Amino acid sequence: MPAYPKNRKGRKVSFVNNQPASAAPPNEVRVLIPNVRPTATYALLGILAVVFLAELAVEQTNPDQSLITQGALSLATVAHGDYYRLLTAMFLHVDPAHIFFNGYALYVVGVTVERFFGHFRFLAIYFLGGLAGGLASIGLTSNPESFSVGASGAIFAIFGAEIVFLYLNRRLFARSAQTYLRRLVILAVLNFAIDLYTQIGPSPIRIDLWAHVGGFIAGIVLAWLMGPRYRGREDPFSIPGVRIDDMVAGERILVVSAAFAVVLVVLFFVRLGLYQG
């Protein structure tokens, strides 16, 4: 992942084309990039851990309780009015390995994305992307009784958002942006290839490919419409006289988030209508 500078003392961080100041060539300058602490990422990791421990406790006390009864997502149950499953399924996991890999991916990608996107944008992309992944899962499934759980749809959303973020700000990150963009794209292709293999190959595991695709596309769209777009401007009160600002207004973030949520609601009820009709 990109070696983004970490913010340890405040809301901004020194940055020299993605390199420490001591390693920067003489013709490069130090600028400040808006930066927040990734507290929402840590909160989500804590919630996922608590929910998984609760799952284990329920299994120990009541072995008849399955993931379906705890809130897993399937088209059949949602069609009967359990709309809440689009949200609850994002916090459930099958086993320790499932939550470990999802938790690790959320930590690696989430810390970076939240640091530059801010808390609200990060959470908006996470939850809207997760809901989009769930909608894609029930919308494109061939078996209405099959169920899915996991935070991976939301994680793929912020993964897609990071790719867009690097692309939109590639001039600021200079050559390092091209390197990391290639790595991220290759990683995405490998992940989708593995997902596809579990669907058509002899693998005993069936990864929800459509949830990942739906979340990934949602993250790309949301980041393109409301992700940070940095521009430099003269600032006589800073050294070396240049300041980096995010040109995306807060009002735009709210409008895009609301509009995307409305689109998801419309698509959701269209899918239910097709299934029930």
Catalytic residues: 152, 212
Which has the closest alpha carbon to 124: 169, 93, 159, 157? Answer: 157
Q: Cα–Cα distance between 94 and 89 in angstroms, integer?
A: 11
> How many Cα atoms within 13 Å fall on the side-chain side of residue 265?
6
Long-range contacts of 268-275 (CB under 8 A, 24+ apart): 268/83, 268/86, 268/135, 271/75, 271/135, 271/138, 271/139, 272/78, 272/79, 275/75, 275/79, 275/144
Whose tokens are 């006589």? That residue is 236
